[in-house]
Amino acid sequence: MVNDRLKFVIQILIFTACASLTESISAREINGDGKMPNVVLILTDDLGYGDVSCLNPDSKIKTHRLDELAREGILFTDAHAPSTICSPTRYALLTGRYAWRGVLKAGVLKPWDDPAIEQGRLTLALMLKEKGYHTACIGKWHLGFHWPWQSGIKPPRDTILNKGTSKARLDMFDFTQAIHGGPLDAGFDYYFGDDVPNFPPYAFIENEHLTCTPVDMDPDDFLSIGQRGYIHGKGPGQEGWKLDQVMPGITSSAVEYIHQQKKSGTPFFLYFATTSPHTPVVPTKEFQGKSDAGYYGDYVQQTDDAIGRVVEALKQSGQFDNTLIIVSSDNGPEGFTYDLINNYSHYSMGQMRGIKRDTWEGGHRVPLVICWPDGNIGGEYSNALISLTDIFATVAAIIDYKLPPKSAEDSFNMLSVLQGGGNTRESMIYHNGKGHLALREGDWVYIRKSGAGRPEPEWFRQSHGVIQDDAPNELFNLENDPGEKINLYKQFPEKAARMESRLQKMIEAGGTKNLE
For the stretch 268-317, pLDDT in tens is 999 999 999 999 999 999 999 999 999 999 999 999 999 999 999 999 99
Number of residues assigned to the chain: 516
Distance between CA atoms of 116 and 99, rounded to whole angstroms? 9
Percent of the chain surpassing pLDDT 70: 92
Amino acid at 241: W
Check residue 10 and give its pLDDT.
Answer: 32
Question: If you ran DSSP here, which 8-state letter would residue 461 be given?
Answer: H
pLDDT at 27: 38
Average pLDDT over residues 463-474: 93
pLDDT of residue 113 exceeding 70, the answer is yes
The answer to whether the peptide bond before residue 280 is cis (omega within 30 degrees of 0) is yes
Side by side, the strands of the sheet bearing 323-329 are 209-210, 205-206, 190-193, 134-139, 268-273, 38-44, 323-329, 368-371, 74-76, 381-382
Average pLDDT over residues 76-101: 97
CB contact set of 228 (below 8 Å; sequence gap of 6+): 279, 280, 281, 295, 296, 336
- Per-residue pLDDT reduced to its tens digit, 26-76: 334 554 556 899 999 999 999 999 999 999 999 999 999 999 999 999 999
User: What share of the chain has pLDDT > 90, as a percent?
Assistant: 81
Mean pLDDT, the chain, rounded, equals: 90
Question: Where does the pLDDT of residue 373 fall: very low under 50, low under 70, confident under 90, or very high at 90 and above?
Answer: very high
Query: Helix, strand or coil for residue 182?
Result: coil
| pLDDT of amino acid 427 | 94
pLDDT band at 378 (very low <50, low <70, confident <90, very high): low
172-230 pLDDT per residue, tens:
999 999 999 999 999 999 999 999 999 999 999 999 999 999 999 988 777 764 455 67
DSSP 8-state class, residue 330: S
CATH superfamily of 35-423: Alkaline Phosphatase, subunit A (3.40.720.10)
